[in-house]
């Protein structure tokens, strides 16, 4: 979503790095480019004015003029001001002292409240809570059914005593009472000992008095601990108007951004927290229920400035990767065993569980410079690799060297690929095996400085009580087995050249007394020899 804004800001800062000292004109030009980039990203005008004013004031102060690297100092200022307009600090849920904690979801129709209710429930379930979903949106057609499906996928129970609107028009069925449903849901949560209650409410295509009144009545009936305003991150400038209307009519304690994976300009994310004064608490980053994360202002600012988001990447990897399998893999490499295609398949499946590879690679620092390559990355390539490996027999996966021409043809036919695709996979895997062997021996990753890039626990083996003797490498080993054995034991038929010799020519013996020193002819007269 922030790709265009990130590219514009990165280009602006790149021009600063060529200057050792920044004048007032340089700073004004930089602030002007930042203002244009933010306005193009649909950030609210008052937010842009406040942001650029703060950046300019700080950039003209002593903290930049006295810095060793003014360009880096300006980037630091922009990063800190971005964090400020995004909310400053990470805000988590305020849990009730006496359960259940009541969370009310509000927002316009189409913002993604129902799906987000399931995502939030799954997120809280993973933290050890026992959430209950309440279907209080009885107006939108099939909203109750959708919440039941989402709850089933998340493994969370849904309280839905009324089927809701089953027609095609957006009307409240006769006799349906969303406030009563919400009240009954709270009583059910207390009876069945659910510690979190998530209430999905109705929305409209626009803000109106009926919508606000219904949300206000549910709020008064439940007295929720948290009211989360769900906003579509793709609606641009209108996000500020809608958020302000809900803040005045219903009130909310936090904001949830949905559809943050879209290709819109993202101005809502940079505007809503600053305008409403309420923090952004969560972000929905995809269609899957697991694509949901806590919103960290500092990490989001780091993504916008193309500094990456390593902490979020690590958190997602920890959730997806099996610690036991990872430890077994390290032990296997440390013992000198080669990785097999079965190991590779397992690791690839765990990597895919962490999320789309394109999204994960985008969290690495500096990946904005490779945006075109990332955009052209085909996730289906991973499917093809998996199909090729699954078309192999267990013996072929463990020992790829036995795969000959006929086996390649069979594997290609079974996976729907070409024999050349199988060859490419085997060549890449062979290269990966060689690299892992070097890392296991303590050689590090090829191309990295010595002593760096080794895997944990792979610094080379030591013998007990003494230092292991270095292994002597012999070039040009003989094809004769006996001769080869002698070479490997360090035995050679040629006498070793004396130390310090060049090309095998022994130097003259060093003199043992001053009288044995040979001086050039005629030099003795200068040493008192007259």
Does the annotation flag 109 for ligand binding?
Answer: yes
Give pLDDT, residue 485.
Answer: 63
Of 72-76, 103-107, 487-491, the range with the lowest mean pLDDT is 487-491
CA distances from 382 to 23, 341, 345, 390, 400 (A): 50, 14, 10, 12, 19
Confidence label for 308 from pLDDT (cuts 50, 70 and 90): low
Q: Is the pLDDT of residue 355 over 50?
A: yes
Confidence of residue 102 (pLDDT cuts 50, 70, 90): very high
> Which residue, chain included where needed, has tokens 């206000």?
216
Residue 189 clears pLDDT 90, i.e. is over it: yes
> Is 112 assigned a ligand-binding role in the annotation?
yes
Q: Find the mean pLDDT for residues 360-382.
A: 64
CA distance 269 to 86: 7
Is 502 marked as binding a ligand?
no
Report, as an integer, the average pLDDT of 355-359: 64
Give all domains of the chain, ordered by start, each with its CATH number. Answer: 3-85 (1.20.120.140), 101-307 (3.40.50.300), 316-440 (1.10.260.30)
Q: What's the confidence (pLDDT) of residue 462?
A: 41
Once rounded to an integer, what is the mean pLDDT over residues 354-376?
62
Q: Which two tokens stand for residue 414?
A: 């079974």
Q: Which tokens go with 119? A: 């995502």
Q: Is 114 annotated as a binding residue?
A: yes
Residue 73 counted as an annotated binding residue: no
Predicted structure pTM score: 0.63
Q: Taking the CB of residue 420, how many other CB atoms lie within 10 A of it? A: 10
126 HSE (CA, 13 A, CB side): 13
Residue 335 above 90 pLDDT?
Answer: no
Q: How far apart are CA 211 and CA 224, in angstroms?
A: 18
The dihedrals phi and psi of 271, each to the nearest 5 degrees, come to -110, -40
In percent, the amount of the chain with pLDDT more than 70 equals 67
Does 106 carry a binding-site annotation?
A: no
200 marked among binding-site residues: yes
Instruction: With a cut of 60, say whether residue 477 has pLDDT above it.
Output: no
7 is annotated as contributing to ligand binding? no
For the ranges 181-195, 241-255, 261-275, 291-305, the one whose mean pLDDT is highest: 181-195
Identify the pLDDT of residue 458.
Answer: 41
Supply 439's token pair. 């890392």
**Sequence-ordered list of residues with C-beta below 8 angstroms from that of 206, at least 6 positions apart, any chain:** 108
Give the residue carrying structure tokens 């290709």.
263
pLDDT at 185: 93
| Beta bridge mates, 254 | 228
298 is in an annotated binding site: no
Mean pLDDT, residues 392-414: 89
Residues 57 and 74 sit within 8 Å (Cβ to Cβ):
no
Q: What is the pLDDT of residue 461?
A: 41
- pLDDT recorded at residue 501: 40
Q: Give residue for tokens 């102060």.
A: 61
Decide if 283 contacts 252 (C-beta within 8 A): no
Q: Is 364 annotated as a binding residue?
A: no
Cα distances (angstroms) measured from residue 44 to each of 2, 58, 75, 84, 289 = 15, 22, 22, 15, 30
pLDDT at residue 506, as a whole number = 44
CB atoms within 10 A of CB 202: 23
Report pLDDT for 427. 87
Counts for the chain of helices (H) and strands (E), in that order: 22, 8
How confident is the model over 131-165, as pLDDT tens digits?
Answer: 999 999 888 888 999 999 999 999 999 999 988 88
Which of 312, 302, 301, 308 is CA-nearest to residue 354? Answer: 312
| pLDDT of the residue at 44 | 81
pLDDT average, residue stretch 164-184 = 83
Distances (CA, A) of 371 to 8, 311, 365, 462: 13, 21, 12, 45
Distance from C-alpha of 313 to C-alpha of 18, rounded to nearest angstrom: 32
| Residue 339 annotated as binding site | no
pLDDT score, position 244: 82
pLDDT digits (tens, 9 = 90+) for 442-473: 554 444 444 434 434 444 444 344 444 444 44
Check whether 110 is labelled as a binding-site residue: yes
Higher pLDDT, 259 or 120: 120
Model pLDDT, residue 135:
92
Among 275-289, 466-480, 516-530, name the most confident range.
275-289
How many C-beta neighbours within 10 Å does residue 362 have? 21
- Please name the residues in contact with 205: beta carbons below 8 A apart, sequence gap of 6 or more: 108, 109, 110
For residue 523, pLDDT beyond 60: no
Q: How far, in Å, CA of 269 to CA of 474, rounded? A: 63
- CB-count burial class (<10 Å; 0-12, 13-18, 19+) for 44: buried
Query: Tokens representing 20?
Result: 């050792």
The residue ranking higher by pLDDT, 409 or 498, is: 409
Is 115 annotated to bind a ligand? Reply is: no
């Amino acid at each position: 979503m922030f790709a265009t804004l990130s590219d514009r800001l990165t280009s602006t800062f790149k021009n600063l790095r060529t200057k050792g000292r920044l004048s007032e004109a340089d700073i004004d030009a930089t602030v002007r480019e930042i203002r244009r980039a933010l306005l193009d990203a649909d950030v609210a005008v008052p937010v842009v004015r406040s942001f650029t004013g703060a950046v300019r004031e700080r950039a003209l102060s002593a903290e930049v003029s006295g810095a060793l690297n003014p360009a880096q100092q300006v980037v630091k200022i922009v990063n800190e001001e971005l964090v400020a307009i995004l909310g400053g600090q990470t805000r988590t849920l305020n849990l009730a002292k006496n359960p259940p904690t009541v969370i009310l979801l509000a927002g316009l129709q189409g913002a993604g409240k129902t799906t987000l209710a399931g995502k939030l429930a799954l997120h809280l379930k993973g933290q050890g809570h026992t959430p209950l979903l309440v279907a209080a949106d009885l107006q939108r057609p099939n909203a109750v059914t959708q919440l039941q499906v989402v709850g089933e996928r998340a493994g969370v129970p849904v309280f839905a005593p009324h089927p809701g609107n089953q027609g095609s028009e957006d009307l409240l069925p006769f006799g349906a009472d969303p406030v009563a449903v919400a009240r009954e849901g709270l009583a059910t949560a207390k009876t069945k000992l659910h510690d979190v209650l998530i209430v999905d409410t109705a929305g409209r295509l626009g803000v109106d008095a009926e919508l606000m009144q219904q949300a206000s009545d549910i709020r008064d009936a439940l007295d929720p601990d948290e009211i989360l305003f769900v906003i579509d991150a793709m609606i641009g400038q209108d996000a500020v108007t809608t958020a302000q209307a809900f803040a005045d009519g219903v009130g909310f304690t936090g904001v949830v951004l949905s559809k943050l994976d879209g290709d819109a300009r993202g101005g809502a994310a940079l505007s809503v927290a600053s305008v409403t004064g309420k923090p952004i608490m969560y972000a929905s980053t995809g269609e899957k229920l697991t694509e949901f994360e806590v919103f960290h202002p500092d990490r989001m600012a780091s993504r916008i400035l193309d500094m990456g988001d390593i902490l979020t990447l690590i958190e997602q990897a920890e959730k997806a990767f099996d610690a036991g399998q990872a430890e077994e893999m390290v032990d296997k490499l440390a013992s000198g065993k080669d990785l097999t295609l079965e190991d590779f398949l397992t690791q690839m499946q765990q990597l895919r569980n962490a999320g789309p590879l394109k999204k994960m690679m985008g969290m690495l620092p500096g990946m904005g410079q490779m945006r075109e390559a990332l955009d052209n990355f085909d996730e289906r390539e991973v499917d093809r690799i998996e199909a090729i490996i699954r078309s192999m027999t267990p013996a072929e996966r463990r020992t790829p060297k036995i795969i000959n021409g006929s086996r390649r043809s069979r594997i290609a036919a079974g996976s729907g690929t070409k024999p050349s695709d199988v060859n490419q996979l085997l060549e890449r895997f062979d290269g990966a095996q060689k690299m892992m062997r070097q890392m296991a021996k303590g050689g590090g990753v090829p191309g990295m400085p010595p002593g760096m890039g080794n895997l944990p626990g792979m610094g080379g083996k030591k013998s007990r009580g003494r230092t292991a003797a270095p292994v002597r490498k012999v070039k040009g080993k003989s094809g004769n087995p006996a001769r080869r054995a002698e070479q490997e034991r360090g035995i050679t038929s040629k006498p070793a050249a004396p130390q310090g010799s060049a090309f095998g020519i022994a130097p003259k013996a060093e003199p043992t007394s001053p009288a044995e020193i040979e001086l050039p002819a005629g030099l003795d007269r200068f040493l008192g020899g007259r």
